[in-house]
Amino acid sequence: MSIVSIGQIKDDDQMFGNKRELNPNAKNFGQLTADTTISYHFIIKATKEPIYIDYVYIPEGLSVTIIKEIITSESKHAGFIVTIFTSLLEFGSFSKDIILRTYTVDKNSGDKLIKETKYTIKGIVNAK
């Protein structure tokens, strides 16, 4: 005799046992106190062809440090670092989107292959 059971997983906690970031392009900092500065390193995965960082949209209250403008397969720590200055944000929940435009060059045609990626920073700024 065989018994088959089908269950429905409602959230990450049921599946993995704790909360995890499922989107590598998002970072939730949770509760932050006022006058805090905190940073996070987003990694850009290298490909066979060099990736060129062309443009970055940075919303207010954040800064972005580009580690390397040209990312190659030999690049270590490729990507960028986002720094949050809570003193520049209003109290309460926040969600900020950073837009990063990169491109590669097609070997055959020489055309730029442009890609825009959204990185989301979230959190809650509390008073001291």
What the chain holds in terms of domains, given with CATH numbers, is 24-126 (2.60.40.10)
CA-closest candidate to residue 66, choices 96, 102, 20: 102
CA-closest candidate to residue 35, choices 83, 88, 75, 78: 88
Rounded to two decimals, what is the model's pTM? 0.75
d(CA 50, CA 116): 16
pLDDT tens series, the chain, 128 aa: 444 444 444 444 444 444 444 567 889 999 999 888 999 999 888 888 899 999 999 999 999 999 999 998 888 778 899 999 999 999 999 999 999 999 999 999 999 999 999 999 999 998 76
d(CA 123, CA 39): 13
